[in-house]
């Protein structure tokens, strides 16, 4: 590894946020290629890692990892998790550092891994960086690895865990023959966090199958779920009705719309909150989503309408994946997908 050329990545590209770091680290682990990421938070004042970033980065001596809620700051926790999976070394974890170096070793499969930022930081962002690292094995007999992720399950600035459960993972199963499973064992809402997600990841021996997905086809159904935890059920009911009414007013046939409403059991909820997840299934095998998270003081019906408006926008652009799925689909393989 020491003799392999290190790839230098400009961390200020595009918005200079956490997605670039998560994708870079996951690909570094899969390709066994060391990377250095510079110009971190280059456009911020002050630039570089702040105290919350430093504490969140993996410390090889103490093993500690703590961050604040802001989703962009989940990057260090994700790097720590990826470092554990692929026995990587990590440098540059100090205040004001504008560069981090990640040197992967051998990926350890199968394994039982966990991550807990200690906040309401998004579990889906932790899954984004760790899932690709666990998907590939040189041996067809390797047992599934497991991930236990704690933190926030439904918050702004990151996909809700329901999006992963109802859109992302089913898409992987349908088109790539991947079989990760996900169980939301406890909802964690902002600002308390405290959610718990369990994921089982059976690896595959070799490249992913070729996929061509350029014809979306017609919309066969629109499904969804409006849920609350720690709040009265009627809020979920109003969110559902708002979502349904908006879709119908936009011209979608009532007969293809099926949105459930539910209230989580108190013992399966940390904090209080709610959200809406919608997805359209098409004859071409596409899943197009729209989501919204409840907020204090906002009419629940408006939350539902917001989710429907996002779904309608994603359908209007004509692509075969939505704005979230196009970010997640960076797995190595041979596929042609219309965005």
Least confident range from 186-195, 255-264, 281-290: namely 186-195
SS (H, E, C) 89-101: EEECCCCCCCCEE
How many residues can be counted in the chain? 339
Residue 293 located in a structural domain: yes
Using the structure block, give the residue that is written with the tokens 């969804």: 224
Query: What confidence category does residue 112 fall into, taking pLDDT thresholds of 50, 70 and 90?
Result: very high
The parent domain of residue 219 ranges over: 213-316
Residue 326 located in a structural domain: no
What are the pLDDT digits (tens) for 195-243? Answer: 999 999 999 987 888 888 899 999 999 999 999 999 999 999 999 999 9
* Boundary-marking domain end, from 79, 108, 137: 108
Contact 294, 228 (CB under 8 A): yes
Examine the pLDDT at 71 and tell me if it is beyond 50.
no
Give me the CATH number covering residue 244.
Answer: 3.30.360.20
Residue 15 located in a structural domain: yes
* Boundary-marking domain end, from 108, 133, 168: 108
Residue 138 located in a structural domain: no
Residue 159 located in a structural domain: no
Residue 177 located in a structural domain: no
- Domains in the chain, number: 2
Query: What confidence category does residue 330 fall into, taking pLDDT thresholds of 50, 70 and 90?
Result: low
Query: What confidence category does residue 75 fall into, taking pLDDT thresholds of 50, 70 and 90?
Result: low
* Boundary-marking domain end, from 73, 108, 143: 108
Which is nearest to 294 in space by CA: 312, 279, 278, 276?
A: 276
What pLDDT, on a 0 to 100 scale, did the predictor assign at position 54? 37
Which is nearest to 143 in space by CA: 114, 175, 108, 177?
A: 108
Query: What confidence category does residue 57 fall into, taking pLDDT thresholds of 50, 70 and 90?
Result: very low
What pLDDT, on a 0 to 100 scale, did the predictor assign at position 34? 96
Give me the CATH number covering residue 5.
Answer: 3.65.10.20
Residue 40 located in a structural domain: yes
Residue 6 located in a structural domain: yes
Contact 119, 67 (CB under 8 A): yes
Q: pTM (2 decimals)?
A: 0.85
């Amino acid at each position: 590894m020491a003799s392999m050329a290190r790839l230098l990545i400009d961390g200020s590209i595009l918005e200079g946020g956490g997605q670039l770091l998560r994708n870079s680290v996951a690909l570094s682990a899969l390709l066994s290629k060391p990377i250095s990421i510079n110009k971190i938070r280059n456009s911020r004042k002050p630039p570089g890692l702040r105290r919350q970033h430093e504490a969140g980065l993996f410390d090889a001596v103490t093993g500690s990892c703590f961050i604040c809620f802001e989703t962009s700051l989940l990057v260090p926790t994700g790097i720590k998790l990826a470092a554990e999976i692929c026995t990587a070394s990590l440098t540059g974890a100090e205040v004001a550092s504008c560069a981090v170096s990640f040197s992967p070793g051998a990926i350890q499969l199968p394994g039982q891994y966990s991550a807990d930022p200690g906040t309401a930081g998004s579990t889906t962002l932790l899954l984004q960086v760790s899932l690709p690292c666990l998907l590939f094995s040189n041996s067809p007999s390797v047992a599934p690895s497991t991930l236990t992720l704690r933190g926030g399950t439904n918050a702004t600035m990151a996909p809700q865990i329901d999006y992963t459960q109802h859109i992302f993972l089913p898409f992987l199963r349908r088109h790539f023959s991947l079989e990760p499973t996900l169980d939301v064992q406890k909802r964690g809402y902002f600002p308390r966090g405290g959610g718990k997600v369990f994921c089982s990841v059976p690896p595959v021996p070799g490249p992913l199958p070729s996929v061509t997905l350029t014809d979306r086809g017609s919309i066969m159904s629109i499904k969804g779920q409006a849920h609350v935890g720690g709040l009265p059920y009627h809020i979920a009911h109003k969110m559902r009705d708002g979502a349904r009414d908006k879709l119908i007013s936009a011209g979608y046939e009532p007969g293809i719309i099926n949105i459930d409403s539910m209230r989580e059991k108190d013992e399966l909820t940390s904090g209080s909150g709610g959200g809406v997840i919608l997805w359209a299934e098409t004859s071409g095998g596409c899943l197009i989503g729209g989501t919204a998270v409840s907020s204090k003081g906002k009419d629940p019906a408006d939350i539902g309408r917001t989710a429907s408006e996002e779904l309608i926008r994603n359908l209007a652009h004509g692509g075969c994946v939505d704005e979230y799925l196009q970010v997640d689909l960076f797995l190595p393989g041979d596929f042609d997908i219309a965005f």
